[in-house]
Structure 1
Amino acid sequence: MNISGSLTQVLLIEDSSQIGHARRTAQQLAEYHGFDERDAGRVALVATELASNVLKHAGVGELHLRALPRANGFGIEMLAVDRAKGFDLEACMMDGFSTGGTQGIGLGAVARQTEVFDVHADARGAVLLARLYPRNDQTPDLRYGVSQHSLHNDPACGDVWHLAVDRNSISALIVDGLGHGEDAERAARAGEKAFALDPFAAPEMLMEDLHREMIGTRGGAVAFAQFHGERDSLSFTGIGNIGASLVTADKSRGLASHPGIVGAQFRKAQPFDYAHVNGHLLIMYSDGLQSRWNLQDYPGLVHRHPAVIATVLHRDFCRGRDDVTVLVVALEAAHG
């Protein structure tokens, strides 16, 4: 399965009128991607409660939306994001609890409406994840997460991400076209096109394919990681300033890239191989994200869903002066 990357849709939540807008937007996204009336209604209910929760306990925040490509259709992902000083998560999970003094259905009830529900909350704020799939879709959740945003909300984004899944193997790509805007996106999409044709090819050959396709564009930074679950190994190949790390609960190691610009000039594309990576998190990010983050500064975050991790990192470490992409993948041998 190939998952072609898309931008995160961000809805500002700062007054009660925006709760209705969030509900309608999420419901329409679900209906557009094949949800029936009942399942789209679940999406609307969850969007309402997540947006209400942001307004009640934080005063201002965001609802992040995206459609999740599946083998036989789509899911809907929603993340409520705020920068408040934390809230009583245990109380909020109780049915009927409302931090604003009005009757809420409670996040516990929301959790029962979703196929995936996860939360990280601390003094920096909270991120709540809800993923919903049609009731007749029994495909397991794919444990990855991405937060991607263009500079100044430009419709064109110079960052492109792509994920390929084949049974126990995963291949993940980020391309950062030089600069931002339409020309940068054109360069990045050219690289993605070549990658999608054969994402599990030998790394040196694959990088040459991307280089060839990106000639005549601005070029850009490229990195891809190929995880082979049956061999419990990962190969990482990077040219330019795409950051990447392998993370566990007690350690993190950066993955090295070579200098150069794909589509212009680089000396080599030697892959680096890593063994015994099953159970690790792969975190890849463009240079729109600061590199000084450390998941150990967030107790428990490493155990949360990858979508929560990607969103927390974007919230706290986005530079705000470039396109930004954060891609987090749980390396597990049973993705297929």
Structure 2
Amino acid sequence: MNINGSLTQVLLIEDSSQIGYARRTAQRLAEQHGFSESDAGRVALVVTELASNLLKHAGRGELHLRVLPRQGDAGIELLAVDRARGFDLEACLTDGFSTGGTQGIGLGAVSRQADVFDVYADHRGAVLLARLYPRNTRQPDLLYGVSQHSLHDDPACGDVWHLAYHGADISALIVDGLGHGEDAEIAGRAGEGAFARAPFSTPTMLMEDLHRDMIGTRGGAVAFAQFHADSASLRFTGVGNIGASLIAADKSRGLASHPGIVGVQYRKAQPFDYAHVNGHLLIMYSDGLQSRWNLQDYPGLVHRHPAVIAAILHRDFCRGRDDVTVLVVALEAAHG
């Protein structure tokens, strides 16, 4: 299964008049992707509660919206992101409690309506995740998360990401086309097209395929990681400045890339192999994200859903002067 990369849709929540627009936008997106009236109604309810919660306890925030393609259907991902001073999660999840002095049915209702619900909060703010799928399907949630945003909300994004699943094996790509805007996106999409045709092929051959298809474009930085579940190993190949780390609960390893510009000139693309990575997080990111982050500064975050991790890294470490992509994948042989 191939998952084509897409931008994160961001809805500002700064006053109560924006809640209705957010609800209608998400409900319409769900209906466009095959949700029944009842399932789209669940999406609308969750959006209303998440947006209301942002106003109640943070004063303002953002709602991040994304479609989650799967084999034969799609889900809807909702992330409420704020920079407030945090709140009591245990209390907020109890029906009848509210930080805003209202009835307080919000987060309890969200956790019941969502197929996947997760949250992380500290003094820097909170991120709440809800993923909803059509109720007549039984496919598992795929444990990845992505936060992708273009500079100045340009409809074109020079960053491109792509995920491929084959049984329990995973192959993940990020391309950062030189510069930003439409020409950078053309370069990134050319690389993605080559990757999607054979995401699990030999790394040197795969990089050559991307290089060939990106010739004539601006070119860009490229990195891809291939997880082989049977051997619990990861093979990472990079050219240019795509950052990447393998993270376990107690340690972190940076993954090395070679210099060059794919589509223009590079000398080699030697893959690096990493053993015993089952249960690790793979985090890949473009240079629109600062590299000085450390998940150890966020106690317990490594155990949260990858979508929560991606949103927090973007919130706290986005440079704000380039397109930015953060891709987080849980490497677990349980995918099937």
* TM-score computed with the length of structure 1 as normaliser: 0.99
User: Match of 2:260?
Assistant: 260
Once the two structures are TM-superposed, the CA of residue 105 in structure 1 deviates from its matched residue by 1.8
User: Match of 2:96?
Assistant: 96
User: Match of 1:280?
Assistant: 280
1:37 and 2:37 matched: yes
CA distance in 2, matches of 1:105, 1:328: 31
State the secondary structure of the residue aligned to 2:191: helix
CA distance in 2, matches of 1:134, 1:181: 35
Contact 1:49 1:104 in 2 (8 A): no
Output one character per residue of 1:280-299: Cα deviation in whole Å (capped at 9) or x when no partner: 00000000000000000000
CA distance in 2, matches of 1:292, 1:110: 34
User: Match of 1:226?
Assistant: 226
| Equivalences for residues 29-178 of structure 1 within 5 A | 29-178=29-178
Q: Read off the aligned partner of 1:97 and give its amino acid letter.
A: F
The gaps in structure 2 that reach 5 residues or longer are: none
User: Match of 2:301?
Assistant: 301
1:291 and 2:299 matched: no
Contact 1:95 1:104 in 2 (8 A): yes
Task: Give the percent of matched residue pairs that are identical in Structure 1 and Structure 2.
Answer: 84
User: Match of 2:3?
Assistant: 3
Output one character per residue of 1:125-163: Cα deviation in whole Å (capped at 9) or x when no partner: 000000000001110000000000000000000000000
Q: Read off the aligned partner of 2:9 and give its amino acid letter.
A: Q
Contact 2:86 2:125 in 1 (8 A): yes
User: Match of 2:323?
Assistant: 323
State the secondary structure of the residue aligned to 1:147: strand
CA distance in 2, matches of 1:104, 1:158: 42
CA distance in 2, matches of 1:104, 1:88: 13
CA distance in 2, matches of 1:170, 1:207: 17
The gaps in structure 1 that reach 5 residues or longer are: none
State the secondary structure of the residue aligned to 2:105: coil
Moved more, 194-203 or 20-29: 20-29
User: Match of 1:217?
Assistant: 217
Output one character per residue of 1:241-285: Cα deviation in whole Å (capped at 9) or x when no partner: 000000011110000000000000000000000000000000000
CA distance in 2, matches of 1:121, 1:100: 17
Contact 2:50 2:106 in 1 (8 A): no
CA distance in 1, matches of 2:134, 2:95: 24
Contact 2:15 2:55 in 1 (8 A): yes
- Runs of 4+ aligned residues of structure 1 deviating over 4 Å after TM superposition are none
CA distance in 1, matches of 2:25, 2:99: 24
Contact 1:158 1:180 in 2 (8 A): yes
State the secondary structure of the residue aligned to 1:192: helix
Once the two structures are TM-superposed, the CA of residue 99 in structure 1 deviates from its matched residue by 1.8
User: Match of 2:206?
Assistant: 206
CA distance in 2, matches of 1:230, 1:72: 26
Q: Read off the aligned partner of 1:6 and give its amino acid letter.
A: S
Q: Read off the aligned partner of 2:232 and give its amino acid letter.
A: D
State the secondary structure of the residue aligned to 1:308: helix
Contact 1:167 1:334 in 2 (8 A): no
What is the aligned residue count?
336
State the secondary structure of the residue aligned to 2:265: coil
Output one character per residue of 1:4-59: Cα deviation in whole Å (capped at 9) or x when no partner: 00000000001000111111111111011110010000000000000000000000
CA distance in 2, matches of 1:36, 1:328: 30
User: Match of 1:334?
Assistant: 334
Output one character per residue of 1:206-237: Cα deviation in whole Å (capped at 9) or x when no partner: 00000000000000000000000001100000
Contact 2:77 2:130 in 1 (8 A): yes
Once the two structures are TM-superposed, the CA of residue 106 in structure 1 deviates from its matched residue by 2.8
CA distance in 2, matches of 1:110, 1:266: 49
